[in-house]
Structure 1
Amino acid sequence: MDNNQPKRLEGRSAAPYQFRYYDLVMAAFVAILLLSNIIGASKRSSLDLPLIGEWSFGAGVLFFPISYIIGDILTEVYGYARARRVIWTGFAALLFMAFMAWVVVALPPAEGWPFQSDYENVFGNSWRIVLASITAFWAGEFANSFILAKMKVWTAGKHLWMRTIGSTVVGQGLDSLIFYPLAFWGLAGWPPEQLWQVVVSQFAIKTLWEALLTPVTYVVIGKLKRAEGVEVYDTDTDFSPFAKSN
């Protein structure tokens, strides 16, 4: 037997296993999630494309898809149950970020401090944007992790590229379809035709990002599996988002 081959763990049998790098991957996931939501979520950008003309897209699309790639890595290496714990951690972090932003913006500024309006513009997201961001993240990430874990069992661990891209099509599709209409429908500066253009752009760019970074995903997953020494299959996992993770 090849001692370098990861040990296969089935579903719940992976729960008590002690992983070396799980916490670091979780930290990277939450950091990317928070930064992409703080910096780029509500900015609409545009490019003048040949043959197409001006095309609008959300600025956060440049970095937010990395969270889905890390989500793929979490599910593929550590299994759905541990990915579920990370998703809920990210969910809680988004809630706290929204609460902290609301408190900081609401605090009365000191006399003569000239940046209150700038603070409000950057951090004073409406309840709609906060609700849309958290809802889209929750639905998209759980769908992404569920599809990836199920496809791993169905394919007996083969065709990683098909599993990562396939899960992203579903997860990112839900994320884009939920976030932009829920956050910006009916607001000034967001005409319906441009809103749907942004939704389509988000979905296409996120999926393309996943495809382009597939070689990097392969390398990271391979190194982590060898370092952790396991191969997790969710054959008897409770896939409810609300199930207790061990």
Structure 2
Amino acid sequence: MQRPIAQYRYYDFVMAAFVTVLLCSNLIGAAKAAQVTLPVLGTVTFGAGVLFFPISYIFGDVLTEVYGYGRDRRVIWAGFGALVFAAVMAAVVLALTPVNDAFNNNYQQHLEAVFGNTWRIVTGSIIAFWSGSFVNSYVMAKMKVRMQGRHLWMRTIGSTLCGELVDSGLFYVIAFYGIWSNQQLLAVTVTQYVLKTGWEVVMTPVTYRVVAFLKRKENEDYFDTHTNFNPFKLKS
């Protein structure tokens, strides 16, 4: 018999951290295309949000590994709700008529420049995040059962390769097609995918430590042997 979520000491904290990273990376960094010049590779173009968004996938891996697919599913839906609220709030704030003075008129222009594309960004984020996160969690859970809990590094990297492929492929096309040139869109999408999955590899030692800590403190190491993987079933 599964224990109720309230009995876990750290589950709620991981959920809050996941939603925070998701919101910030999608609304603050997603619209900015940045460049860095690297040895051998030359100039590399990437979305600024890539520096932080992969952390949400690490949280997803940790949640599925420790608490199981069902509880990660609840966190994914919490992130979904947060993104929808952010979109509604941005639309309302932009629609309000600003006070007719120099500061507020100028500030309104800056808000529109930053958040004017929010509906496309959030639509892309919701679809890509929802699809990619569930693919990531599903693959992670299935691999854990198949591998009998061994080779955590293979499961975290393998699930991220699948989830990020879906996420990156959907998000940039939905959010920026017609805004960026096709060449820039392709370059950013490919670079994002490589960087996101690269983050997972680099962060593997940290993931191991976090997973070990939570398993020990929560006395939990969930195997999804009889799990209903329907993404629309909120009960864990």
CA deviation map 1:32-91 (0-9, x unaligned): 111111210110011223344322111100000000001111111110000000000100
The reply on whether 1:24 has 2:13 as its aligned counterpart is yes
Separation in structure 2 between the aligned mates of residue 244 and residue 179 of structure 1, nearest angstrom: 24
Separation in structure 2 between the aligned mates of residue 223 and residue 137 of structure 1, nearest angstrom: 27
**Counterpart for residue 50 of structure 1:** 39
Aligned positions, number: 232
The reply on whether 1:182 has 2:174 as its aligned counterpart is yes
* AA of the residue aligned to 1:129: I
Q: TM-score, normalised by structure 1?
A: 0.91
Q: Choose from 127, 141, 150 the match for 1:149.
A: 141
* AA of the residue aligned to 1:211: V
- Offset of residue 244 of structure 1: 3.5
Separation in structure 1 between the aligned mates of residue 39 and residue 20 of structure 2, nearest angstrom: 35
**Counterpart for residue 232 of structure 1:** 222
CA deviation map 1:117-163 (0-9, x unaligned): 01111222253222111100000100000000110000000000000
Separation in structure 2 between the aligned mates of residue 49 and residue 244 of structure 1, nearest angstrom: 44
Separation in structure 1 between the aligned mates of residue 2 and residue 58 of structure 2, nearest angstrom: 22
Separation in structure 1 between the aligned mates of residue 27 and residue 184 of structure 2, nearest angstrom: 22
Separation in structure 2 between the aligned mates of residue 76 and residue 163 of structure 1, nearest angstrom: 9
- Offset of residue 105 of structure 1: 1.1
Q: Choose from 63, 66, 82 the match for 2:71.
A: 82
Separation in structure 2 between the aligned mates of residue 76 and residue 161 of structure 1, nearest angstrom: 11
Where do residues 1-246 of structure 1 align in structure 2 (5 Å cutoff)? 13-14=1-2, 16=4, 18-112=7-101, 113=104, 114-187=106-179, 190-246=180-236
- Offset of residue 245 of structure 1: 1.1
Separation in structure 1 between the aligned mates of residue 118 and residue 208 of structure 2, nearest angstrom: 39
> Which has a greater percent of helix?
2
Q: Is the 8 A contact 1:44 1:56 kept in 2?
A: yes
Separation in structure 1 between the aligned mates of residue 119 and residue 218 of structure 2, nearest angstrom: 41
CA deviation map 1:193-243 (0-9, x unaligned): 221111110100000100000000000110000000121100000001012
- Offset of residue 19 of structure 1: 1.3
Specify every segment of 5 or more residues in structure 1 that has no aligned partner in the other structure, as ranges. 1-12
Local SS of the residue matching 1:14: coil
Specify every segment of 5 or more residues in structure 2 that has no aligned partner in the other structure, as ranges. none
Separation in structure 2 between the aligned mates of residue 65 and residue 52 of structure 1, nearest angstrom: 22
Q: TM-score, normalised by structure 2?
A: 0.94
* AA of the residue aligned to 1:160: L
Q: Is the 8 A contact 1:65 1:210 kept in 2?
A: yes
Separation in structure 1 between the aligned mates of residue 38 and residue 13 of structure 2, nearest angstrom: 39
Higher relative contact order (CA 8 A, sep 6+): 1
Q: Is the 8 A contact 1:14 1:232 kept in 2?
A: no
Larger mean CA deviation between 47-56 and 114-123 belongs to 47-56
Local SS of the residue matching 2:28: helix
- Give the share of equivalent positions with the same residue, in percent: 57
